[in-house]
Amino acid sequence: MEVAQLKIEIAKRMPKQRYEHVLRVTETAKRLAEKYRLPVIKAEQAALFHDIAKFMDKADLHHVLNTANEDSRLLSFHHELWHAPVGAIIARDEFGISDADTLNAIRYHTTGRATMSPLEKLIYVSDMIEPGRSFPGVDELRVKAEENLDTAMEACIYQSVQFLVNKRVPVFPDSIDCYNQLIRREQ
């Protein structure tokens, strides 16, 4: 499917404000992919699909996760995490995306995980630093993203985990594994 047609299909599945976020993430991901010599087409696809399931009904998300035999641990965490793996399933089943790295970049854009590929890191970071984001520390994350993708990923997962801990909500194990791996890399 052509990118223009894909954008039309994606726009139908979300409010205008979220679609604009998706476009900003896509532009950020494409720019960083060029900078870090990663496949721009894969970055564009993963970014376009990353929130495709964000506005699905909770019961529908639950059904897709169960039917697809996704990580059952997800169901005991906040449903906000569910849209990422469901988005990967939609990209594969409805739009024919078959590249495993692209699908994993969609699947893990909310939680991260240990042993993330460069493309997975790129989408995670792009989602967090896109120009529409405004939270304490985002400008520092943007600077790190221009310097080194691994350093940016480490800073982003730290920010995410710290945010969740400060809210006193459970942190999905993949996020902890991601954080631990990146911190151990420094030692």
The pLDDT value recorded for residue 141 is 97
Alpha carbon 151 to chain centroid, angstroms: 17
pLDDT digits (tens, 9 = 90+) for 144-154: 999 999 999 99
How far apart are alpha carbons 161 and 165 in whole angstroms?
6
Domain boundaries, the chain: 3-186
- pTM as predicted: 0.95
pLDDT digits (tens, 9 = 90+) for 59-105: 999 999 999 988 889 999 988 999 999 999 999 999 999 999 999 99
Domain 3-186: give its CATH code: 1.10.3210.10
